[in-house]
Structure 1
């Protein structure tokens, strides 16, 4: 069974960078670098929230982690390749079509 890559945090559904990395089979630092390369800064500030968690094995050290909205996750995933990235693109296109039909 596939591991969930979204969680509810402060009443919002977010994807966590380390879970996104695991889902796509990438290293966490690669995903963080991809997030850092996204532009413009205003979009990033609205869709990505950085925080630090304790390192799992090194006491006193923290690890950078990023929470992202659905839009942030979609934009990030568009930069990846492979079957899982294609599935995300298809799902995103399908869902955005539904969202538009609900808008007056």
Structure 2
């Protein structure tokens, strides 16, 4: 499953935010557990005020009683979900790390001289080329090994066949 960030984020007066409802849905958690997770965060009072807003909505399922939920900024969202576990949380963390690494690479490139950029890209190219070369080498070895394995399996299957049918030939 891939996280749909477009479904997660909305604009509130031009500020990107999400809600505890959306977090619960995307990360396959019960909403009450997301509320508890927000309440148990060990961040500063100032960070909490800046990044989490307790809201209420009238919920027909609760007979018109107001249902609490949190609206949170990007920073609040990241702080919250970095503590989550599970497949969806792992996917988010990987995507976040990849995005961070990408922007780091972009910023590094901007601060480099032309020669430094050439060396940086050349190093990445050669590293990737070596990885692909090793994969190709493994594939070549597999081409030689595969017929041997198949031949040996065929011989063993013929030897096993009489035992499987109970008609061992003597």
Is TM (by shorter chain) over 0.5?
yes
- CA–CA separation in structure 2 for the residues paired with 1:50 and 1:35: 10
Counterpart pick for 2:35 among 32, 35, 42: 32
Q: Report which stretch shifted further, 90-99 or 27-36.
A: 90-99
Structure having the higher strand fraction is 1
Counterpart pick for 2:9 among 6, 10, 16: 6
3-state DSSP class of the match of 1:57?
helix
- TM-score, normalised with respect to structure 2: 0.53
Q: Check the 8 A contact 1:15/1:73 in 2, yes or no.
A: yes
3-state DSSP class of the match of 2:26?
helix
Q: Report which stretch shifted further, 8-17 or 56-65.
A: 56-65
Q: Check the 8 A contact 1:53/1:62 in 2, yes or no.
A: yes
Q: Check the 8 A contact 1:7/1:15 in 2, yes or no.
A: yes
Q: 1:81: Cα distance to partner? A: 0.8
Q: Check the 8 A contact 2:52/2:73 in 1, yes or no.
A: yes
Structure having the higher helix fraction is 2
Change (3 A) 1:58 1:82: closer
Unaligned runs of 5+ residues in structure 2 are 112-170
Unaligned runs of 5+ residues in structure 1 are none
Q: Check the 8 A contact 1:74/1:92 in 2, yes or no.
A: no
Higher relative contact order, structure no. (Cα contacts within 8 Å, ≥ 6 residues apart): 1
Q: CA RMSD in A?
A: 2.4
Q: 1:96: Cα distance to partner? A: 3.6
- CA–CA separation in structure 1 for the residues paired with 2:25 and 2:87: 15
Q: 1:2: Cα distance to partner? A: 6.5
Q: Does 1:77 align with 2:77?
A: no
- TM-score, normalised with respect to structure 1: 0.83
Instruction: Give the structure with higher Rg (CA).
Output: 2
